[in-house]
């Protein structure tokens, strides 16, 4: 399955925040662990609301967590 054109730094940021697990992040943003995994692997683009919640957990601006990959 093709990955989506939005990269993210969630995996790196989890480890920078006390090696936070996917389950811990999932509980803090109100989704399942499988959804966090799908977001990390760029298989699912979260809603704006969830994206902001993730950024808030890491206390970082949205564009530091998610980057749009321009084609061409």
Site residues (vs another protein, CB under 8 A): 1, 30-35, 37-38, 41, 43-44, 46-47, 50
Q: How far is the CB of 21 from another protein (least distance, A)?
A: 14
Q: Residue 56 or 72: which CB sits closer to another protein? A: 56
DSSP-assigned states of every residue in 5-72 = SEEE-HHHHHHHTTS--HHHHHHHHTS-HHHHHHHHTTSSPPPHHHHHHHHHHTT--HHHHEEE----
Q: Residue 2 or 19: which CB sits closer to another protein? A: 2
Q: Residue 34 or 64: which CB sits closer to another protein? A: 34
């Amino acid at each position: 399955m093709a990955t989506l054109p939005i990269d993210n730094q969630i995996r790196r940021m989890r480890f920078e925040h006390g090696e936070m697990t996917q389950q811990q992040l999932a509980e803090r943003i109100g989704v399942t662990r499988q959804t966090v995994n799908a977001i990390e692997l760029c298989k699912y683009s979260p809603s704006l609301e969830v994206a902001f919640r993730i950024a808030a957990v890491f206390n970082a601006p949205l564009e530091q967590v998610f980057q749009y990959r321009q084609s061409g």
